Amino acid sequence: MSRIQLEGATKRFGHLAAVDEVSLDIGDGEFLVLLGPSGCGKSTLLRAIAGLAPLTAGRISLDGKDITHLPPRERDLAMVFQSYALYPHLSVARNIGFPLRARGRSKAQVRGKVDEVANVLGLTDLLARRPRELSGGQRQRVALGRALVRDPGAFLMDEPLSNLDAKLRTATRSELTELHSRLGSTFVYVTHDQVEAMTMATRIALLNNGKLEQVGTPAQVYDEPASEFVASFLGAPPMNLLPATIVSRGGSLFAVSSEVEVPLDLTGDVPDTEVTLGIRPEHLRLGGKRRDLLAVVRLLENLGSEEVAHCTVGGARVCVRGPRPLGLATGQTVSLSTTPAHVHLFHRATGRRLLWAPTLSPAPAKEFQV
Ligand code: ATP
């Protein structure tokens, strides 16, 4: 059992709050991914959980026990680093068995456990080799083995796949997901790679400047981003964001600007409201009866099965993603449309999502909160 709870976790380096009042409840058996851009505080937060970067303020508990001031080796947690941190002069078997020898386990106990872990990770034939005789992916598995051998309550992983090439990353990603479901242990995993986060996480915690921006399942953070930051971090290309004003026309609400007129399927009278309109590239359709956005095609990108058209809508950049070929040419003017269910609205000044539930029912204007 390993439930990790953070309450107001804060880590300062001088005046910089690398982790800023983060409260997070990581359930037993979760695969929680800490995601965010470089420098947002992911590694510092993970190191704080491991005990390698003591908190400036706040509290960390493991299964209800306060571990805030406990030294790293007394926490029932195992850390896997991006750099693998293997001992170059030791064989794979001795690298994996190292934590057990350091704890004074008998030779037979160490051998038994090393064999078991090597079997789980497909390393049995490599036990006699030195790390320099292994590929990047194999080294990463040895580093994982060294964490596994301790049977920790939780695994803390800092960008463990970032040194692998694209193909191996994809393969190791699914291996890790399978390992997680087989072990049923808690995984806390740091990455800046949204694909890793979306494919492996049971929940994603998105950090921005040391603060938690949103926590949710991959579907929640993708489908209902809590802020413009989340909307523009997830998705390839990310969500299109356009300045617009909500206006009422004969009782129906529209998001409008000079090249935009998107119906919202809402009725009511609201004072004109400045928003940022968000539409994912895959939710824009070409042509059709309606002309929600008027775009000029600037560049076409061939992704194999799909194509991305980079366009401009007024002064803003807008991407359309769909099956290839989209049937467009650069320089062409096209009208684009979407469905109200795929429209996201953010407060122009704060960037926070506006409470609005068009898919549940056409919300009356009073539920349109700014
Ligand atoms: P990356 O993806 O690039 O590894 P990250 O999200 O993991 O980034 P951190 O390494 O946690 O970010 O760093 C968060 C902030 O804290 C950064 O601004 C970094 O420069 C700063 N920082 C991290 N460690 C220290 C340190 N030991 N002393 C001073 N500042 C630090």
List pLDDT tens digits, range 282-312.
999 997 777 889 999 999 999 999 999 999 9
**Both tokens assigned to 92:** 């794979």
* % of the chain surpassing 70 pLDDT: 95
Verify whether ligand 1 is closer than 6 Å to residue 54 (CB atom).
Answer: no
What is the span of the domain harbouring residue 99? Answer: 4-233
Identify whether residues 193 and 308 lie together within a single domain.
no
For ligand 1, atom 9: residue with the closest CA: 41
Verify whether ligand 1 is closer than 6 Å to residue 44 (CB atom).
Answer: yes
H/E stretch holding 11 reads: strand 4-13
Any idea what the CATH number is for the domain that residue 208 is in?
3.40.50.300
**Residues 223 and 54 sit within 8 Å (Cβ to Cβ):** no
Tens digit of each residue's pLDDT (9 = 90 or more) over 118-127: 988 888 999 9
Average the pLDDT over 324-338 and give the result: 94
- State which ligand 1 atom lies nearest to the alpha carbon of 192: 2
Residue 82 has pLDDT above 90, yes or no: no
Query: What is the per-residue burial (b if ≥16 Cβ within 10 Å, else e) of 332-356?
Result: eebbbbbbbebbbbbbbeebebbeb
**Both tokens assigned to 101:** 């020898």
Identify whether residues 148 and 284 lie together within a single domain.
no
Q: Beta strands of 47-137 (E only): which ranges?
A: 57-62, 65-66, 77-80
pTM, entire model: 0.89
CA of 8 to the centre of ligand 1 (A): 18
Verify whether ligand 1 is closer than 6 Å to residue 361 (CB atom).
Answer: no
CA of 14 to the centre of ligand 1 (A): 12
Identify whether residues 223 and 308 lie together within a single domain.
no
- State which ligand 1 atom lies nearest to the alpha carbon of 190: 7
H/E stretch holding 167 reads: helix 166-183
Identify whether residues 227 and 312 lie together within a single domain.
no
H/E stretch holding 190 reads: strand 186-191
Of 193, 216, 233, the one marking the end of a domain is: 233
Identify whether residues 244 and 114 lie together within a single domain.
no
Q: Token pair 């009208």 is at which residue?
A: 335
Work out how many domains the chain is built from and give that number. 2
CA of 18 to the centre of ligand 1 (A): 6
Mutate to test the pocket of ligand 1, among 11, 13, 15, 157 (most ligand atoms within 8 A of CB): 13
For ligand 1, atom 27: residue with the closest CA: 13
- State which ligand 1 atom lies nearest to the alpha carbon of 53: 27
Q: Token pair 């809402």 is at which residue?
A: 266
Average the pLDDT over 167-181 and give the result: 86
Of 216, 233, 250, the one marking the end of a domain is: 233
Would you call 137 helix, strand, or coil by DSSP?
helix
Identify whether residues 227 and 246 lie together within a single domain.
no
Residue 331 has pLDDT above 70, yes or no: yes
Of 233, 268, 296, the one marking the end of a domain is: 233
Verify whether ligand 1 is closer than 6 Å to residue 40 (CB atom).
Answer: yes
| pLDDT value for 12 | 97
Interstrand relation of 240-249 and 154-158 (parallel, antiparallel or unpaired): unpaired
Mutate to test the pocket of ligand 1, among 12, 16, 33 (most ligand atoms within 8 A of CB): 16
Helices 136-148 and 92-102 pack at an angle, to 10 degrees, of: 20
Verify whether ligand 1 is closer than 6 Å to residue 225 (CB atom).
Answer: no
What's the rounded Cα separation, in Å, for the pair 368 and 354?
Answer: 7
Verify whether ligand 1 is closer than 6 Å to residue 305 (CB atom).
Answer: no
For ligand 1, atom 28: residue with the closest CA: 13
Average the pLDDT over 129-157 and give the result: 89
Q: What confidence category does residue 166 fall into, taking pLDDT thresholds of 50, 70 and 90? A: confident
Verify whether ligand 1 is closer than 6 Å to residue 13 (CB atom).
Answer: yes
Query: What is the per-residue burial (b if ≥16 Cβ within 10 Å, else e) of 6-40?
Result: bbebbbeeeeebbbbebebebeebbbbbbbbeeeb
For ligand 1, atom 26: residue with the closest CA: 13
